[in-house]
Each structure stands twice: as C-alpha cells, then as structure tokens.
Amino acid sequence: MISQKKYYRVNRREISFIKFIIEAYEGIAILTTIDPERGIIVLLVPSGCDEDVDMVINNLKQQIMIEDFKYSKAPDQDVS
C-alpha cells in the first residue's frame, strides 16, 4: 500500500544511481522517472517506510544534488 508520493529534482545523470540505492533497500520505495530531461523523479513510499526513505534521501543529498520538488501534473499526464 502506497502512503505517499515524494517528488524530487535530481541531476539526471544520477537517476540510475539513486534507483540502484533505493532498490538495494528492498521494499522501501519504488522510484519512477517523471521527466528524464529535467531529472524529475517520484518515490512511491509504502506506509511505515517514510522515515527510512527520508534517511536515505538525506544521506544521498550530502553526496549528490537532490532537491524536493513540488509537482503538479498537467491534465493530459498520468502519473501513477
């Protein structure tokens, strides 16, 4: 069960690295790329994993550019 979506803007060259790290923490979140050109990603976070995801992202922020991103979907886009 997904409790929330967390959107971030990252260096687009780091998307694969971030996905690899998130997948290493099996079940902590699912990373989906929203806009590969601008480096917009979303993490689908299950209930109970919020603090763990925040810890991982905060640690990654010390090494690579990750910014919180306020995402508003255009009417013709489907972001599941």
pLDDT tens-digit readout, 7-36: 999 999 999 999 999 999 999 999 999 999
What is the Cα 74 distance to its own chain's centre?
A: 19
pLDDT tens-digit readout, 45-75: 999 999 999 999 999 999 999 999 998 775 4
Phi-psi region of 27 (alpha: psi -120 to 50; beta: other; left: phi over 0): left
Long-range contacts, 32-37 (Cβ 8 Å, 24+)? 34/7, 34/71, 34/79, 36/12, 37/12
What pTM does this model have? 0.83
How many other CB atoms are there within 10 angstroms of residue 67's CB atom?
11
Architecture of domain 2-68: 2-Layer Sandwich (3.30)
| CA end-to-end distance (rounded Å), the chain | 13
